[in-house]
Amino acid sequence: MDCKITPCDGTLLVTGSYYGYARIWTTDGRLASTLGQHKGPTVALKWNKNGNYILSAGFDKTAIIWDASTSQCTQQFAFHSAPALDVDWQSNVSFASCSTDQYIHVCKLGSDKPTKSFQGHTNEVNAIKWDPQGNLLASCSDDMTLKMWSMKQETCVHDSQAHNKEIYNIKWSPTGLGTKNPNMNLILASASCDSTVRLWDVERGLCIHTLTEYSEVRTSV
């Protein structure tokens, strides 16, 4: 399950549940509203930057955009053929979703089909993250690979296979163009069941550092 604080003012928290409900809470612990469209566990939740929409992914194979002010389903996207595992906003109205069906779909509010679809992983795709500019989409999978997809080139531009077990999570550094640190290189971190965290040079697609001081599975970065 997942939980996220609204990025615009930090006054609301949204949480998911095994029973398919997402709930919005105030900072004093009061339940503000319940979102109840998913027909299975809600496993990922993301606020957009404006804080007016919430994005969710569920085991019912769908992604949903919710109006945060009314708690109503704005649009449900049923493009996957298996449970959706993660979602991430590209802009305030467009996002990507990934699934155990090995597909990644890029979708937009108001559109009844994906604007782009990527396939290249050979096992379930566990997590996806847009870079700060929304040009590159990183994905990680049970197939032990980390991939970077280019929206401009519409293909995979880096396919990295340094981990020797499943990769569960990835995260971009707050550096590079589109951030407050534009003169610093953009780095991507990956966390794996092989008990390592790896740091990647985005331009070359190469691992530049491996953190190995762990004895347990790494599921988050």
Question: Which mean pLDDT values do the consecutive 10-residue runs of the chain (221 residues) have?
Answer: 66 93 94 94 96 97 96 97 98 98 98 97 98 96 97 94 94 86 89 93 91 65 63
Listed as own residue / partner, the contacts of 157-164 with beta carbons closer than 8 Å and 24 or more positions apart are 157/205, 158/202, 158/205, 159/120, 159/205, 160/200, 160/205, 160/206, 160/207, 162/198, 162/207, 162/210, 163/190, 163/192, 163/194, 163/196, 163/198, 164/192, 164/194
Instruction: State residue 9's pLDDT score.
Output: 74
Instruction: State residue 180's pLDDT score.
Output: 84
Report the helix count and the strand count for the chain, using DSSP H and E. Answer: 0, 20
Query: What domains are there in the chain, each with its CATH number?
Result: 1-82+104-119 (2.40.10.480), 123-221 (2.40.128)
pTM for the whole structure:
0.90
Instruction: State residue 3's pLDDT score.
Output: 63
Instruction: State residue 178's pLDDT score.
Output: 80
Instruction: State residue 10's pLDDT score.
Output: 80
